[in-house]
Structure 1
Amino acid sequence: MKNLSRALLFSIVAIIGLSAAGFAQTSPSKQFGDIKVGISNFGKMDDHFYRGGRPGGKDFATLKQLGINTIIDLTDNSSGEQAQAEAAGLKYVNIAIPDKSYPTDDMVAQFIKTVNDPATGVFYVHCAGGRHRTGDMAAVYRFAQGWDYDKVYQEMLNYDFYTSNGHQKALDFVQDYSKKIVAQRAAAAATTTAAVSGNK
């Protein structure tokens, strides 16, 4: 089923206690201070979350230099990445989401659990190109910060998101997730209003 469970919906608001305030839409960048990054579609969403395409070679040392602690790999076809990451002193987590697929509740829950874990620290999320699977999980993160759909989608476009070549399911996921978050927020607001009225 595509529908997120009620427990999962309520769990997203806990994502590392972040608020929507002060966070602007981000775009890819190759330069961070004195550090030049060679990874495609690379960007920094906030002080906790970096994103982009699949790293390789010297990229792992660069990620470490940026202060990243954990790599969250969203691909289902990694070969040797864990060894390369760990050799550079990085933790490695694989949430295997097949390309051009609709992320399952379990995948979303694993992502939320990982970014909520204090041991994860600063993390780098990637798929192959940093557009679709990464865009979906970045959207989950942004909705937890209180962003609305339009703002989330614009940030996805900033990172070269598109729906052609079989990638429509990535957008379907974000649209469905957004609707459920809106419904969850409305239900929570109604519950709060009822509780306040009952205490008068």
Structure 2
Amino acid sequence: MPGWGRWVLSLVVVALVAVPPVALFRANYAHAKRFREVTPGRFYRSGQMTAGGFRETIERYGIKTVLNLQHENPDPHMPESWLGRPAVLESDLCKQLGVRYVLMTPDVLPQPNDVTKQPAVVTDYLKLLDDPASYPILIHCKAGLHRTGRLTAIYRMEYEGWSTGDALRELRDNGYGYAMASEADDFIIQFVKHYAPRRPGGGPK
């Protein structure tokens, strides 16, 4: 066999060995993108799932409210599975499953030069979480890291009595990034470091 033929054959063998595991990983990853149980039976977080993963999660955990944090995608058109074509709007799937669908956009700082001012979205968020009928709740953004991480930190501090430091450590551990989860990020300062729980010690409302 000529040298180029052996080279091509080697590439084919490598592709046959490497591609299926990678494809399987990506399919599983997209299905339930970064899904995490924050408080069992109460609070869950994720990235943007496929319709199949979304449906499975809602049914398995008895989700009653879905909070989407994507201003750039206020009603995601979800494929049934990874690499599939868009099949159903998230709001329509929630309606089919009897789940409340809520959109909030925590990306805009209210005052560019005053990161100590609490964003208006936090008031809306707390109002939603104060309502016992909202639970169990699933919150998500696109990646399930930054917007989701900041609002999960507020949940921890407000309703579970976590310190700012503990909330930040969890946020970093879940992929926010150590460099970003600091005073280098105005959103961290505004949403987490300057957040003051409404009552000392937190705990369920």
Q: TM-score interval w.r.t. the shorter chain? A: 0.5 to 0.7
Q: CA deviation at 1:123?
A: 0.4
Contact preservation (8 Å) 2:32, 2:54: no
Q: Distance in 2 between matches of 1:147 and 1:119?
A: 23
Structure 2 unaligned blocks of 5 or more = 1-28, 76-88, 111-117, 201-205
Alignment of 1:69-108 (within 5 A): 69-76=64-71, 77-79=73-75, 80-98=89-107, 101-102=108-109, 105-108=119-122
Q: Structure 1 vs Structure 2: percent identity of aligned residues?
A: 25
The answer for the alignment partner of 2:38 in structure 1 is: 45
Match of 1:117 among 109, 128, 131: 131
TM-superposed CA distance for 1:37, in Å, is 9.1
- The answer as to whether partners of 2:31 and 2:50 remain within 8 angstroms in 1 is no
Normalised to the residue count of structure 1, the TM-score between the two structures is 0.63
1:155 is matched with 170
Query: Higher relative contact order at CA 8 Å, sep ≥6: structure 1 or structure 2?
Result: 1
**Residue type of the partner of 2:119?**
D
What residue is the counterpart of 1:60 in the other structure? 54
Give the secondary structure class of the aligned counterpart of 1:155. Answer: helix
2:66–2:99: 8 Å Cα contact kept in structure 1? Answer: yes
Superposed displacement of residue 48, structure 1: 0.6
Count the aligned residue pairs.
144
**Cα root mean square deviation, aligned:** 2.7
Contact 1:71 / 1:93 at 8 angstroms: preserved in 2? yes
Query: In 1, distance between residues paired with 2:109 and 2:44?
Result: 22
Cα displacement string for residues 120-154 of structure 1 (whole angstroms, at most 9, x for unaligned residues) = 12000111111111111111111112111221111
Match of 1:142 among 143, 150, 156: 156
Partners of 1:64 and 1:132 in 2: how far apart?
Answer: 22
How high is the TM-score relative to the length of structure 2?
0.62
Structure 1 alignment gaps of length 5 or more: 1-35, 186-200
Distance 1:135 1:102, change over 3 A: farther
Residue type of the alignment partner of 2:98: G
Aligned amino acid, residue 65 of structure 2: T
Contact 1:72 1:124 in 2 (8 A): yes
Which structure has the bigger radius of gyration? 2
Distance change (3 Å), C-alpha of 1:68 and 1:56: same
Matched, 1:176 2:191: no
Determine helix, strand or coil for the equivalent of 1:45.
strand
